[in-house]
A and B are shown apart, each in its own frame.
Chain A
Amino acid sequence: MYFNSYLYIIFFLPITIFLFHLLPKNNYKTFFIIIASYVFYGWGNIYICSLLFLSSFWDFCIGKKLNDLNKYLENSKTPNQIRIIKNKKFFFLILSVFLNIGLLVIFKYWDWLVDWAILKNSSCNFMNISIPIARSYYPCVVNSEIIYDFGVFKHSLDLPPGISFYTFQTLSYTIDIYRNNFKPTGKFSHYLAYVAFFPQLIAGPIERAKNLLPQIVSNKKYLSKRIIQKSFFLIFFGLFKKIVIADNLGHIVDECYENIQYSGIGFLLAFGFAFQIYCDFSAYTDIARGTGRLFGIKIRRNFLTPYFSQNPSEFWRRWHISLSQWIRDYVYISLGGNKKGNVRTILNLLITMFLAGLWHGAGMFFIIWGIYHGFLLLIYKIFPIDKFFINIFGSIFGKIYSILLMFILTLYGWVFFWSQDSISTCLSILKSFNELIFLLYKPDIISEKFYELLFGILVFTTPIILADYISYKSKKEFSDIQTLLSTTTKTMLYLIMFYCILFFGYRGSLQFIYFQF
């Protein structure tokens, strides 16, 4: 079920909230969350629920075992006992990593790896190689004879939605217990609700057990006027960002690519896509947070005006915060972070960003995008350009130039991200992007199409740039700022958003981009 569907907005959400708050006991509420979440997740394809349940089950069992071992460890006195228990703990940790990453590899990367390892590196002439529907049919043809159908190595299954998010969530649970940073829940029902909690199940934020589980266990799930108001605004603003901004930008971005032969259009594509993906993803988070609040559960922020970052590390503190922190805590720090000398720090950073790219999907350019950001982090670490700008141009202009430079560097990253697996696509966009510089000197060669697309992009990005600028300046979330406005202004804001969704909203909305990850 999608957040931006009528089914969800008009039926599922109001009914589940109403029933949830009717239930008298917290235990009933927990079970209700599980049922609602599985209905939400399995709507249209009930089988994917089995995978979610299986993943939850084995991590709960491993978590329990690790917790028992932690207790034994506390009571162990001899070095031999300690060593044995530590080894056992390590075994269960590896088992959890193996099962969770294995699940990801099978569903997300397997077909891609087969393509890469067999289909693209074989001397066979493969028929139907780029055909999406009959994709399991890959006959190897040598001298006009079919030798073997390599399709048998590919499962061609659709990626279960949200698998990257919930496997990371369950993995963090076992790693935290392994590190003795968290005491696990005793009840399987609480754990099931934690993993499956539907607002954040499909596209995050990737919640940590220490934040979400205590809230699920807690009896204090009440609704106040303030919570309803904030939740309502978050959901409404999220829908506005998704249906009005992101979906329409998506179409303009596609149109940019259709006209990529014109100079400068590559820049517009990257600019449009930067805001499309931001609005799309942050819209999901907003709706998730708004919905979570209505169930008395606080889900954390995932974005913090990312395009106002002055350097790459700030960008990653503001963009997809839950993933950045996950990768930092469980990969970068596990690899030794910056405490093992310069060479290891560089290597750790690149490995971490490589994995961050790979997490986004089975595509060469996702990896390149990750590594590109790794190099940006390194360059800024060696030579902090933002600080240099502030020294040269002063605090205000230095900041502005730093933000602009970081934004342009981010745009180049989005070109890789958007290109996914096509080198020619990437090169054509980069060529058109870089030609923007000529347009500045020769405005008369700017194509009519450039102005048309620029107008479209400005129409849809301006509201978000303004909203983010206000948030950035006031250091407050936009949903918090609205609470400070007068009733008349707020009413106007709601009316504008409602009629924008009605008049400008794209019907038959596109899927949330991050569903594919």
Chain B
Amino acid sequence: MSHPLLIIMDNAVRDMLDEWVLTLCIVLSIAAIACPLLILFGLKQGVVQSVRDEFIKDPTYREIRPRESVEYAPDFFATLEADPRVEVVVPNITRSASSLRFETADGNRSDNIDTHPTAAGDPLLSLNGVKVPGVGEVVVSAPLAEAFDIGVDDILTLLVSRRYEGKSQRAEERSRVVGVLDPRADAKNGLYVPLALAVDIESFRFGRDVTRAGWPAGTVPKTREVIDELVVGCEAELAPGAVSRATIRTEFKGHRALTADEFASLWPGASRSDLTWQAFRATGGPTSERNVKALRSELRGLGCKHYLRRVDSRAATLAEGRALELVGLSLEERDQDLFDVGFARAPDERFVDSLRAVASSTDGLEADSMVMLEAPVGSKALSLAVRIESLSEAVPAGTLVVPLELLARLRTGDETPVRYDESAGEVVIGELGYSGFRAYARSIDDVPALAGDITRLGGVEVIARTDEIERARLLDQGLTKIVWIIAIVGLVGGAGALIASLIASVERKKSEMGTYRLLGFGRASVAAFPVVQGVLIALFAVGLAGALYLVFGRVVDEVLGTGGAGVGGGGIVRLLPAQFAVFAVGLALVAALCASFAAVRSMRIEPAEALRAE
């Protein structure tokens, strides 16, 4: 070993060993600062991690669910499930339709119990050690199990009731209990059923036909007739007060007076210039016949003769791709003189019977022929076979006049999913969408932001345990600040002691440093002397502090009753080996920095110092 730096490093170690008492004192003083810091860091991490462990073990901390039942846009669930922060989404049914009774094998019958859909990956069940129920299976909550003495493998008969066409009906479903859910997950009486069963329960409750063995048949709800506007023809202009009362007291919140031309543009062949026409519009979305009656009642005695129902026209496409506009016009007897074309009003007419139209004589269509139309309804398109009853010159080119009832049913589809039931000849309400959900974030740290995003995405307020998570985050932040303040104070003190010790050592060894220079060692080599000593002192101190931490960490755990083994183990005082290594390296770097002061001092020692020493 002839390199000057290596010789100096070797001699620096020998010097420390030769003055082992002094070395031990400074090591002890640094360890006395490092050990409490390690315990402090370990305690802080243990406290925070214990809280987080509770959050992680309990999936309800990651749960986000809507505050109320609403209908979601068709792509809502797909968008939510695609979010990388979301672990799983379990849809939910309408709360009002989710309760049922059950009967045990012993004949005990329950009151209405809330039913919760569950699906594969539901952490509420899986993290509590309960199997997700499959077909013919059910999970019960612990309070319910206790109240009715239900255990695993017991058979329950689920009882779903409804009133249908004036009569009470009941469906029964036998299910085997496959698990009892921990009260921490659900402290109330509750049943967890497969999602398909929950959806069928909801559908049954809404009077729909559910294809389950033994369940009474129902029907599929028809779409209702709705209108966008009521066009009123009166002998004179309505007073503003009358208009105000009409708009305030009905759902027709919008009002405009129509000129003759404007009236004529609403329907083909419309003309009656001797009347004043007002359009009352349902600005909050299409409204029902009930509001037509209400408006008529408000305008009684004001000389209003005609009340023409109107649904916004709708674009449609012929099979060959030609675009047409569907205009709905169905008239009461008193109104039929107003128009050259139109259909008699028939609100109870089946949809299939309203698939007829009057076409323009210039559109090249043939009377008494069938055309296939594709009409956009909501997010889909319906294909309709429409019979062209007749042609008329009064109908503008590119227009089909159809019964208002047809257009009204299609208008329903803009608000609610619909489908065309061929056997019934009706446009009926489509599959019920989910009206709620339980979404679980992958990490508790994602919950606050994810809850906000779901609110924006679904337009619905959500419930999530963000307050508790935020409290834990603030606890972590607060403890981190406190620990670091204490650590910095300790480090400053320790650094001061180390700097003083090393500089004093250099001063004591001034003649030796000068001798090194005299013998031919360079300034850099001599500067390495205190740096090597500083780093070694720090490493010895960290080693000693680590050993003391292991001992005192256990003591703290014993005193607090939290058990554990300290580094890498459980217990409230918790530091991982990697964190300890980072601490050691950090302290060594700080020591090297402290030693640099002594190193600078040693570099200034000239060889002549050796010649001056006595």
Q: Are both chains from one complex?
A: no
